[in-house]
Amino acid sequence: QSALTQPRSVSGSPGQSVTISCTGTSSDVGGYNYVSWYQQHPGKAPKLMIYDVTRRPSRVPDRFSGSKSGNTASLTISGLQPDDEADYYCCSFAGSYTWVFGGGTKMTVL
Amino acid sequence: EVELVESGGDLVQPGGSLRLSCAASGFPFSPYEMIWVRQAPGKGLEWVSHISDTYALSNADSVRGRFTISRDNAKNTLYLQMSSLRAEDTAVYYCARVSRSSNYKEFDFWGQGTLVTVSS
């Protein structure tokens, strides 16, 4: 149950697009189409942004999108807005009702 | 409105025990799978435990044999019994609901967390 690998930080200017990667193994990210992404503002609870690799809850704007290739999943945020500045965590189902999170990425809007 | 409220966090000595609670409201509790996730100070999220609607349990390797998740559907409450606590168990503990909208593999509502500090 090793943590998924995410970049420590990414940044972009308002209106730009940024992509956050999440690398696992064939036992988690590569083995299941059950990758989810969570946004966490400082001092707040995480919020579900993407699930099943590409699906968005209805309340999440379509500026957020997800994808996967092999053992690496990605979250892309387009049209960056100031409120997108937060920590982002990927999470993958890893079989037998276990899950593994990524180490988190701090997203800075310049 | 879905609400999850954790309680029970405290300062406890190494080797001690603690029970966390998560009171659920705003949705039918019994059909939903539930989990605990923790976040050490300044660190990332770590999945801890899962309980199904049929009381099947799973735990992370880091807490197996020390932590036990349980639920009381009559009280709409999720629990985490923690024993043999270590300094590395210091964290904010969140309860979260497993979504039923798709394949039951993501967490759609979270509580605000309760802080557990293990220190002498």
Using one digit for the tens of pLDDT, what is the confidence trace for A65-99? 999 999 999 999 999 999 999 999 999 999 999 99
Q: How far apart are CA B87 and CA B84, in angstroms?
A: 10
Interface check A59 vs B, CB under 8 A: no
- Supply the pLDDT for residue B103: 86
The answer, yes or no, to whether residue A21 has pLDDT greater than 90, is yes
Interface check A4 vs B, CB under 8 A: no
Cβ distance B44 to A103 less than 8 Å, yes or no, reads: yes
Contact B120, B58 (CB under 8 A): no
pLDDT > 90 in chain B, percent: 92
- Supply the pLDDT for residue A65: 97
Residues of A with Cβ-Cβ distance to B61 under 8 angstroms: 1
Q: How far apart are CA B87 and CA B116, in angstroms?
A: 10
Contact A89, A104 (CB under 8 A): yes
The answer, yes or no, to whether residue B101 has pLDDT greater than 90, is no
- Supply the pLDDT for residue A20: 98
Residues of B with Cβ-Cβ distance to A38 under 8 angstroms: 45, 107
Q: How far apart are CA B5 and CA B96, in angstroms?
A: 10
Interface check B58 vs A, CB under 8 A: yes
Give A49 or A1, the one with higher predicted confidence: A49
Give B46 or B101, the one with higher predicted confidence: B46
- Supply the pLDDT for residue B104: 86
Phi, psi of A81 (to 5 degrees): -125, 155
Q: Write out the two tokens for B8.
A: 């029970």
- The enclosing H or E element of A93 equals strand A86-93
Q: Rounded mean pLDDT of B99-103?
A: 88
Interface check B73 vs A, CB under 8 A: no
**pLDDT tier at B108 (50, 70, 90 boundaries)?**
very high
The answer, yes or no, to whether residue A1 has pLDDT greater than 80, is no
Q: How far apart are CA A60 and CA A48, in angstroms?
A: 9
Name the residue facing A48 among B46, B94, B107 (closest C-beta). Answer: B107
In chain A, the largest separation of any two C-alpha atoms, in whole Å, equals: 41
Q: How far apart are CA B76 and CA B4, in angstroms?
A: 10
The answer, yes or no, to whether residue B54 has pLDDT greater than 90, is no
Cβ distance A89 to B44 less than 8 Å, yes or no, reads: yes
Interface check A66 vs B, CB under 8 A: no
Name the residue facing A104 among B44, B61, B107 (closest C-beta). Answer: B44
The mean pLDDT of chain B is: 96
Cβ distance A1 to B105 less than 8 Å, yes or no, reads: no
Q: Which chain B residue shows the shortest CA-CA distance from A99?
A: B47
